[in-house]
Structure 1
Amino acid sequence: MPKLVDHAERRDRIIRAAWRIIAERGIDAATMREIAREAGYANGALTHYFADKDSLLRAAYEYVYAATNQRVAVSVHGLTGVEALRAFCREVLPLDDLTVDEARVVLAVWSRMTVDADLLDVHAASMRAWRDDIVRWLGEGRALGRVRSGTADEVLADHLITLLMGAQVLVLSGDVAGPSAQEQLLEEWLGRLGRP
């Protein structure tokens, strides 16, 4: 009887292998051969799922974004306004080993965006979706009287995304942006929302 292959599971295994290599050893170490070895497959097996390294890197980036969004969905469930914003930010900020590894993957993939228009489109769509959520939560905060800032919600959303993306970069420099520093920065930013 022929062996049944779960193609979705195999594709996911390859993506997770790429993610681990990038997080642990950097993007240069993530060759197709090394990813295949890490996933436990022959080098040629990857071409059945990914045309080239760029398509695999896009999938690794999408994997990080999807994993973050799954955590966000759980964390913000039942929350609105500023509380939802805080929960969202705590899932995006690199505050623990997992999210620091995700930051390493994201930063490695960002460097490819200058030459990969498809990857840039994936990133832009991700940031638009987050921005829309942030604007919605800010609006809820205004309706509840918790957001009183005179700055437009769209501008506040851009500020917050900049803070979150900056933390992805700075966390790799060590104590400069460790978890306690990030949490303090977040709380100060959220606290300013209540000031007219």
Structure 2
Amino acid sequence: MPKIVDHDERRLELVDATWRIIARLGIEGATMREIALEAGFANGALKPYFPTKDTLLEFAFGHVFNRTNQRVAKVTEGKTGLPALRAFCLEVLPLDEERVNEARIVIPFWQKAVNDPQKAEIHQQSMEEWLAAIRQYLAEAREAGDVRAAVDDATLASQLLNMLLGAQIGAALTTRPDADPGLTDQLEGYLALLAG
């Protein structure tokens, strides 16, 4: 009887292997051959799932985004306003090895998106989704009296998103994994300014 292959599971195995390779060798070292070896597959076994490295990178970005959103949904459940905003930000910030590795997937995707309209559109839709969530949390916090900043919520949301994305770049480029960039303190400082 032929072995039944779970194609979705195999795709995720390949994405996980891609993360590990990029974390160790960078995007240039993440060849299809290296990814196949890391995942324990023959080189040709990747083609039915991801015909090119670009398609694999696109899938990996979508997977990172969805995984982050699942974590966000879990930690914001039952929360609104400032507590929900804080929880959202703490899940996006690269505060552990897993999220630093996710940032190392996202950054090469951004580089490709500069010249690839399809990837640029995927990124834009993802960021619009995050901005909408941030604006909702800010509006709830303002209604509760926790945000009194004179700056409008749309501008605050864009500032905060830029801070989160910048933190991903900084974490992905760090050469000292033991260095604490103070991201949690920076977030708390920003949230404190909102009350002013």
Pairwise same-fold verdict (TM > 0.5): yes
User: Equivalent residues in 2 for 1:5-44 (5 A)?
Assistant: 5-44=5-44
Which residue in 2 is equivalent to 1:104?
104
In structure 2, what residue type is equivalent to 1:59? F
Q: Structure 2: which 5+ runs fail to align?
A: none
User: Equivalent residues in 2 for 1:6-155 (5 A)?
Assistant: 6-155=6-155
Shift of 1:64: 1.1
In structure 2, what residue type is equivalent to 1:120? A
Q: Structure 1: which 5+ runs fail to align?
A: none
TM-score (norm 1): 0.93
Which residue in 1 is equivalent to 2:189?
188
Structure 2 contact 76–88 (Cα < 8 Å) conserved: yes
- Where 2:121 maps in the other structure, the secondary structure is helix
Give the percent of matched residue pairs that are identical in Structure 1 and Structure 2. 48
Structure 1 contact 24–101 (Cα < 8 Å) conserved: no
In structure 1, what residue type is equivalent to 2:30? A
Shift of 1:94: 0.9
Shift of 1:51: 2.2
Shift of 1:174: 5.5
- Where 1:65 maps in the other structure, the secondary structure is helix
Q: Which moves more between the two structures, 105-114 or 78-87?
A: 105-114
TM-score (norm 2): 0.93
Structure 1 contact 22–108 (Cα < 8 Å) conserved: no
**Change in CA separation of 1:179 and 1:93 when aligned onto 2, cut-off 3 Å:** farther
The aligned length equals 194
Tell me which stretches of 4 or more aligned residues in structure 1 moved more than 4 Å: none
Please tell me the root mean square deviation across aligned C-alpha atoms, in Å: 1.6
- Where 2:47 maps in the other structure, the secondary structure is helix
Structure 1 contact 72–87 (Cα < 8 Å) conserved: yes
In structure 2, what residue type is equivalent to 1:57? L
